[in-house]
Amino acid sequence: SNMDEKGEIFYPGESAFFTGNVYQNLLVANFIASGSNPLIRKEAIESTKEFNPSLHPVEDWDFYLRLAKNWHFVVVPTSQILYRQSANSASSRVEMMEKKLTFD
């Protein structure tokens, strides 16, 4: 869910309810809305052979795909993260995020 500088929720967020073998669903779209929310077993991370903590937000779709090939996912169907957005927040600076994704 997103809230403004005053703490008012203006976008309740979208929920993903894919559970179990989610690989096919994840190929279609990265339904993991926030990289700050997943709780991942250490052995699952280690099994992917590669995890790059220096990646910018939303660049870890490949990591989730590698996880989903061999591990089942479980979804908590309620909001776990609240984002406070302001004029200077990273999520408000879409152009910067697009440049990071396209490597400009």
CA distances from 32 to 45, 86, 88, 95, 104 (A): 16, 22, 24, 21, 24
Whole-number pLDDT of residue 11: 54
- What does the pLDDT look like over 38-80, one tens digit per residue? 888 999 989 988 777 787 766 788 889 999 999 999 877 776 7
Strand intervals (E) in 1-104:
2-3, 9-11, 83-84
Higher pLDDT: 27 or 16? It is: 27
Q: How many domains does the chain contain in total? A: 1
For residue 64, the enclosing domain spans 2-102
Per-chain mean pLDDT for the chain: 76
Whole-number pLDDT of residue 65: 92
Per-residue DSSP letter, 16? -
In this prediction the pTM is: 0.62
